[in-house]
Each structure stands twice: as structure tokens, then as C-alpha cells.
Amino acid sequence: MPIGCGDVAVMPGDVVVGDGEGVVVIPRRIAEDVIAAAHEQGQREDFIRSKIQQGASILGVYPPDEQTLREYEEWKRGHARC
């Protein structure tokens, strides 16, 4: 049965995710796309963090330029998270 929570409609089957900073409600029909995008963003942030920790300048790394994006695609093939 649909409910309202914090001025947000929550429908049966919606994905509800929360942490210490807040809660999001993801409609069931787009949940897989949101999960895939979040996974990709997490991988990209891991890559960027590793470059900066290795001494790279943030310029061109964040936001990533074309060279950084090519390096990221190579890195991703060897470091994919489950």
C-alpha cells in the first residue's frame, strides 16, 4: 500500500536506502539504472582518489579530462568492484 513519508510518496517495490546523512526513495522502475550509475560513480571516485594519493594534480583529474577518462577505462578493467 502506498505511504507518505517526509513529504515523499513511497510505493510498494520502491527501494529505500539510508545512512547517517539521509534517506532516498528510488522508484522501482528506475532502481536498476540508479544502482548502475552509483556503482560507476563509485569506481570513478576510487580511481580519482588513487591518482591524487599517488601525487597527481587535481587539475585534469577532477573533473576528469579526456586523458584521465582513458586512464580510468584502463584502470577499471583491472579494478572492478563487485
Convert the pLDDT of each residue in 17-27 to its tens digit: 999 999 999 99
Residue 13 CB contacts under 8 Å (≥ 6 apart), including other chains: 28
Average pLDDT, the chain: 93
Annotate 18-34 with b (16+ C-beta within 10 A) or e (fewer).
eeeeeeeebeeeeeeee
d(CA 45, CA 39): 10
- DSSP letters spanning 3-27: EEETTEEE-TT-EEEEETTEEEEE-
**So what's the pLDDT on residue 77?**
87
**pLDDT exceeds cutoff 70 at 82:** no
CB atoms within 10 A of CB 72: 19
Q: What is the pLDDT of residues 38-57, one digit of tens each?
A: 999 999 999 999 999 999 99
